[in-house]
Amino acid sequence: MPLILLALPLVIASLSLMFTNRKVLGAISIVGSATIVLTALSIARQVFAGSRVVWGQFIFIDALSALILSLVAIIGFMVTLYSLGYLAHDLKEGEFSEDRLKWYYFWLNIFVFTMFLVLVSANLGIMWVAVEGTTLATALLVGFYNKKNSLEAAWKYIIICTVGIIFALFGTILLHYAAVSVTGESGSLDWQTLRRVAEQLDPKLLKLAFIFALVGYGTKVGLAPMHTWLPDAHSQAPSPISAMLSGVLLNCAFYSIIRFHLVVSESLGFRFSSNLILLFGVLSIVVALPFILVQRDIKRLLAYSSIEHMGIIAVAVGLGSKLALYGAFLHMINHALTKSSLFFIVGNISQHYRTKRIIRIKGLFKTMPIMGPALMVGGLAVAGAPPFNIFMSEFIILSSGFAQGRYLVSSLIAILITLIFTGVIYALSKMVLGIPPSRVKLGEHGNFAVVVVLISLVPVVVLGVYIPGFIHDILQQVTSVFIGGSQ
Amino acid sequence: MQNYQGLVNFLITLILAATFIIIMARRFNSIIMAVIIQGLLLAALSTALGWATGIHEMYIAALLTLTVKAGIIPIVLINAVNKVAINREIESFLSMKMTLLIAACLVFISYLATGQVIGKGSGLINEALPVAISLILIGLFLMINLKFPIMQIVGLVVMENGIFLAGIGTTIGMPLVIELGIFMDILVGVLIMGVLVFRINRSFNTIDTKNLRNLRG
């Protein structure tokens, strides 16, 4: 089963290269990603029913991997749906020629493959290879429009992330060095084995390994101060790709940090690694704030908001109590769903207005009677307003922080997210209100996109008032991965 | 193992020397030559270690290093140079004296740090880890200091050589599957960077990184 999951995106990618027709490519990718969703969800179901999926030495899926795996598959499916209309419009406008379309689908599916590989591998070395693979698969997607700005973003992205990730490889090698005398060559990077033998490993080396891994993978997560690639890449990539980067790639990278965290905390105790994660989390929220307040480009605003939310997840993982972890992963789900939906909306709007500058987008309520309110709903949700999903998880995280007696951190975060709230709402209200410029046509921009956006907004609204039993159960299982130790 | 210690340390010193050639060179050709030499030396080092320890995987690593680092990557670099910047002087932000001084400091720091943190003479070869860290730091410094995207690729390759050295020098290499994966990532990475350099050159008509500064805030 896990092998099928890994093979599927590769098959779709190679199939895509054989066609150039837009409709054929779209059909292949829709059918393909629907199959991927079914496979991924059936694996996840098996895992959540209590039996972990193991294949040989290299594949191991527990509740934590299964959760993010499902997110990747579901958002991947939404992205392929949304891509149809988005790319059709770009083609009509002559943004790129039709013979390059197959490369879009090729790299998109390779991207999905590498993320799956990150999540299913039982070996920290293979995980590293896969995380670097995600950078390579997306570099040309970020620069897909081949314009000056998008090429600049792609170059920054590949260079900064590759350098960052090289530090993570150094961390992995240090861990290997610390472990190889205890576990032997074969088990030295297997994280289950490592968790079991963690107490016998040299703590000095483990500390060093964790710091390198945190800085390395943290670059990919977009934790400040290594976040500089993120706003460029997110704003210059085609919007469906931005949705994918922000919605799931960041989570996959965070997953790698968690794996290291789990190994290291077995040996050094919980404090060392969780405090470091907490520190980077707080720093990310602090750094995101000023850029959100003065932002002029709507996609960059969303990108900085992703940095903020990754910071919040990091803070929650750093706090580390059961409730905080519950909140962290609920927040991961919420952020992935909301942010991808927002990138769909903003992609649609920016195609309609032909600009991403906030100041030039006015009167959305009047021009686009569905997308305008949708933007407001998504924006309120991502800013953390009740009664939407992100408010719920932020509330859980903050209340667990206060319950643990971490008053300073918790109140600082509370103040910061309130300020960010005002920044986001201020920017969005400038867009939805006012008199629309006369050059803009009235009416929606593509009916299909409207349907996709409305579907993607359903969980944003529902999860704000009610957490279904199965999600509650899943989150319980994910938090028990942290507490369950090495079994 | 003891008998080979001298030879191995000698090779590692040469690898460090090759890095300094890269720092000092002002022509693309000599830099690419130094990259090839460094690749060859790394391949020789893993062969020597394979010989000394009797681990056959080291020969495979040597072969891979030879093809990827002394073969394909230099070819990609030469291609990129021919397309975009024939016979141009390489400009740097700092003067040559300053560059050398900083590079020397980085080497010094690496020796100091490894001695302090991990203990002197740990690992299989006592020269490997400090030189590896020097390579990583100098590679990073190269990427910041030199103005051409192609030189940033070279910096990355130097960093990766450092990582490889750390891997084989401390633990006789990672498991083979992972080693293969890493080589593939490096290879694909350099290829994609080559493509990007070409596209950047086409749309900017120049290839100086100071033009890559539109996206801010």
Q: Any alpha helices (H) in A143-221, and if so which ranges? A: 148-183, 191-197, 203-221
Contact A417, A335 (CB under 8 A): no
pLDDT band at B2 (very low <50, low <70, confident <90, very high): low
Among B170, B185, B204, whose Cβ lies nearest the Cβ of A148? B204
Contact residues on chain A for B175, CB-CB shorter than 8 A: 125, 185-186, 188-189
The alpha-carbon gap from A149 to the nearest alpha carbon of chain B, in Å, equals 7
Nearest to A289 by CA among A428, A426, A429, A419: A419
pLDDT band at B125 (very low <50, low <70, confident <90, very high): low
CB of A190 within 8 Å of any CB in chain B?
Answer: no
Do the Cβ atoms of A133 and B140 come within 8 Å?
no
Nearest to B195 by CA among A234, A158, A90: A158
Query: Rounded to whole angstroms, how far apart are CA atoms B142 and A346?
Result: 39
Query: Rounded to whole angstroms, how far apart are CA atoms A47 and A63?
Result: 6
Of the two residues A255 and A203, the one the predictor is more confident about is A255
Residue B139 has pLDDT above 80, yes or no: yes
> How far out from the chain centre does Cα A316 lie?
16
Do the Cβ atoms of B185 and A132 come within 8 Å?
yes
Contact residues on chain A for B189, CB-CB shorter than 8 A: 132, 135-136, 158, 162
Percent of chain A with pLDDT over 70: 99
pLDDT tens digits for A123-142?
Answer: 999 999 999 999 999 999 99
Q: Per the structure block, which two tokens stand in for A28?
A: 């292949």
pLDDT of residue B211: 66
pLDDT band at A72 (very low <50, low <70, confident <90, very high): very high
Query: Rounded to whole angstroms, how far apart are CA atoms B120 and B103?
Result: 22
pLDDT tens digits for A103-127?
Answer: 999 999 999 999 999 999 999 999 9
The alpha-carbon gap from B11 to the nearest alpha carbon of chain A, in Å, equals 21
Among A136, A163, A294, whose Cβ lies nearest the Cβ of B140? A163
Among B156, B166, B174, whose Cβ lies nearest the Cβ of A125? B174
Q: Any alpha helices (H) in B68-95, and if so which ranges? A: 73-84
Radius of gyration of chain B measured on its C-alpha atoms: 18
Residue-by-residue DSSP string for A239-307: HHHHHHIIIIIHHHHHHHHHHHHHHHHHHH-HHHHHHHHHHHHHHHHHHHHHHHHT--BHHHHHHHHHH
CB of A150 within 8 Å of any CB in chain B?
Answer: no
Q: What is the largest CA-CA distance in chain B?
A: 57
Among B166, B170, B196, whose Cβ lies nearest the Cβ of A143? B196
Residue B209 has pLDDT above 70, yes or no: no
Q: Compute the average pLDDT of residues A271-286.
A: 93
Contact residues on chain B for A176, CB-CB shorter than 8 A: 167, 171, 174
> How far out from the chain centre does Cα B97 lie?
21
Q: Where along chain B do its domains lie? A: 2-213
Query: Rounded to whole angstroms, how far apart are CA atoms A146 and A93?
Result: 15
DSSP conformation class of A359: G
Do the Cβ atoms of B203 and A151 come within 8 Å?
yes
Average pLDDT of every residue of chain A:
91
To test the contact with chain B by mutation, choose from A111, A113, A142, A151 the residue with the greatest count of B C-beta atoms within 10 A, namely A151
To test the contact with chain B by mutation, choose from A183, A185, A207, A300 the residue with the greatest count of B C-beta atoms within 10 A, namely A185
pLDDT tens digits for B72-118?
Answer: 999 999 888 887 765 566 777 888 888 899 999 999 998 888 777 66
pLDDT of residue A487: 35
Percent of chain B with pLDDT over 90: 32
pLDDT band at B3 (very low <50, low <70, confident <90, very high): low
- The b/e string for B97-117 (b: 16+ C-beta within 10 A; e otherwise) is eebeebbeebbeebbeebeee
pLDDT of residue B160: 92
Do the Cβ atoms of B175 and A235 come within 8 Å?
no
pLDDT tens digits for B5-53?
Answer: 788 888 889 999 999 999 888 888 889 999 999 999 999 998 988 888 8
To test the contact with chain B by mutation, choose from A173, A202, A294 the residue with the greatest count of B C-beta atoms within 10 A, namely A173
pLDDT of residue B68: 92
Residue A486 has pLDDT above 50, yes or no: no
Nearest to B130 by CA among B105, B147, B108: B108
pLDDT of residue A266: 85
Residue A28 has pLDDT above 50, yes or no: yes
Contact A340, A78 (CB under 8 A): yes
pLDDT of residue A485: 47
Query: Rounded to whole angstroms, how far apart are CA atoms B118 and B129?
Result: 10
3-state SS string for A73-133: HHHHHHHHHHHHHHHHHHHHHCCCCHHHHHHHHHHHHHHHHHHHHHHHECEHHHHHHHHHH
CB of A57 within 8 Å of any CB in chain B?
Answer: no
> What angle do helix axes A2-16 and A22-48 make, rounded to 10 degrees?
170
Residue A412 has pLDDT above 90, yes or no: yes
Contact A42, A55 (CB under 8 A): no
CB of A128 within 8 Å of any CB in chain B?
Answer: yes
pLDDT of residue A303: 94
pLDDT tens digits for A206-260?
Answer: 898 999 999 999 999 999 899 999 999 999 999 999 999 999 999 999 999 999 9
Q: Is the dihedral of CA A81, A82, A88, A94 positive or negative?
A: negative
pLDDT of residue B119: 60
- The b/e string for A312-323 (b: 16+ C-beta within 10 A; e otherwise) is bbbbbbbbbbeb
Helix or strand (DSSP H, E) at A61 = strand A59-61
CA distance readout (Å), B23 to A47, A227, B90, B142, B186: 52, 28, 11, 7, 21
Contact B128, B12 (CB under 8 A): yes
Q: Which residue of B has its CA nearest to A301?
A: B217
CB of A424 within 8 Å of any CB in chain B?
Answer: no
pLDDT of residue B206: 61
pLDDT band at B124 (very low <50, low <70, confident <90, very high): low
Query: Rounded to whole angstroms, how far apart are CA atoms A241 and A246?
Result: 8
Residue A59 has pLDDT above 50, yes or no: yes
Looking at chain B, which runs of residues are DSSP E strands? none
Helix or strand (DSSP H, E) at A60 = strand A59-61
Q: Which residues contact A371 (CB under 8 A, 6 or more apart)?
A: A345, A348, A349, A352, A364, A444, A445, A450, A453
Region of residue B54 (phi > 0: left; psi between -120 and 50: alpha; otherwise: beta): left
pLDDT of residue A409: 92
Residue A182 has pLDDT above 70, yes or no: yes
Q: Compute the average pLDDT of residues A344-361.
A: 90
> What angle do helix axes A250-268 and A148-183 make, rounded to 10 degrees?
30
Query: Rounded to whole angstroms, how far apart are CA atoms A252 and A245?
Result: 10
CB of B184 within 8 Å of any CB in chain A?
Answer: yes
Start-to-end C-alpha separation, chain B: 55
Q: Where along chain A do its domains lie? A: 269-487
